[in-house]
Amino acid sequence: MDCKTARLLLDFARPQARELVPEEAGALESHLDQCLDCHGLAQGERQLDERLGKAMRQIEVPAGLRDQLLARLEADRGDWYRRRFAHGMRAVAAVAAVLLLGWGAWRWLIESMPAPIDLQTVAAAANHNAAEDPRTKIEESLKAMGVETPLSPHLNYNLLAWPPAKAELPGYPGQKVPMLVFERGGRRARVYLVATKQIPADGPPTVGGATYKLEVLPSEGEPYTFLVVHDGDNLDWLRPPEPPAT
């Protein structure tokens, strides 16, 4: 080994560095043993390293630093748990909010989307309604209006055009009574249900007029009397069909 190589390797041969492989370290030591110049240089460098290392580590550590550190770490640990708890709570709240939003959106979607219609169901229901006696429904509707009376047998309820509703009795503003509307072939009749006690017992059964006629249907002993206002010559079209002869 020559002096130039030896001086370059000196940096790697310091005790702390341990960068040289044993062969290189051995060759360097052999050279230093033989070369006085390099030996002196190495000795000086090692002495400088030793002095610098010693001075570098010569620092007084404050008394109580350890306890101070442990106290601070303990306090930090408490903070960490509090932060962790808050973090967890925030996460739970976020998840709950997302779930709530999702549920709300799902509900909105379900409610805003009309349910699919089964045509068979519609047809079956229509047939069922047609087969049903319309008087049952009319009686229920009247009952809901506070009127409980048997229906007049002189009317064909299959011709009812609208569900029963309350309407003002012509000539008596503000007095609303149940009204049934019947239609057939361009003819129309409105039937008002009036308390029997309001009708004069000796009154005429028919009252004529320019356009409309009023007929009082017989209602012996019943609480309500049916007044028919119509625009035809007679009420034949509104009569119930004759039962088939047996």
Partner 1 sequence: MGELGSPQTVQRLVDEHYVTLYRYAYRLSGSSADAEDLTQEAFCKAQVNFGQLRDPSRAKPWLFSILRNAYLHRVRADRQQHCVPLESVGDLAEPLPEALPDIDPERLQQVLNELSEVFRTPIILYYFEDFGYREIAEQMDLPIGTVMSRLARAKAYLRTRLLEPSAPVLANGRAPRRATDGL
Residue of 22, 36, 63, 74 that binds partner 1 (CB under 8 A): 74
Quick check: 16 binds partner 1 (CB under 8 A)? yes
CB distance 147 to 154 below 8 Å = no
- The interface mask with partner 1, positions 135-164, x = CB under 8 A, is ------------------------------
Residue of 21, 22, 23, 54 that binds partner 1 (CB under 8 A): 54
Residue of 3, 34, 40, 104 that binds partner 1 (CB under 8 A): 40
Quick check: 80 binds partner 1 (CB under 8 A)? yes
Residue of 30, 34, 47, 175 that binds partner 1 (CB under 8 A): 47
Cα–chain center distance at 238: 52
d(CA 67, CA 70): 5
Cα–chain center distance at 65: 59
Phi, psi of 219 (to 5 degrees): -150, 60
CB distance 217 to 209 below 8 Å = no
Considering the complex, state which of residue 1 and residue 10 has its C-beta at the smaller distance from partner 1.
10
Q: Is residue 38 exposed (0-12), middle (13-18) or buried (19+ Cβ within 10 Å)?
A: buried
Quick check: 166 binds partner 1 (CB under 8 A)? no
| CB contact set of 117 (below 8 Å; sequence gap of 6+) | none
Considering the complex, state which of residue 38 and residue 177 has its C-beta at the smaller distance from partner 1.
38
Considering the complex, state which of residue 70 and residue 207 has its C-beta at the smaller distance from partner 1.
70
Q: Which residues pair with 42 in a beta bridge?
A: none
Site of interaction with partner 1 (CB under 8 A): 7, 10-12, 16-19, 40-41, 43-45, 47-49, 51-59, 61-62, 65-66, 68-70, 72-74, 76-77, 80, 83-84, 87
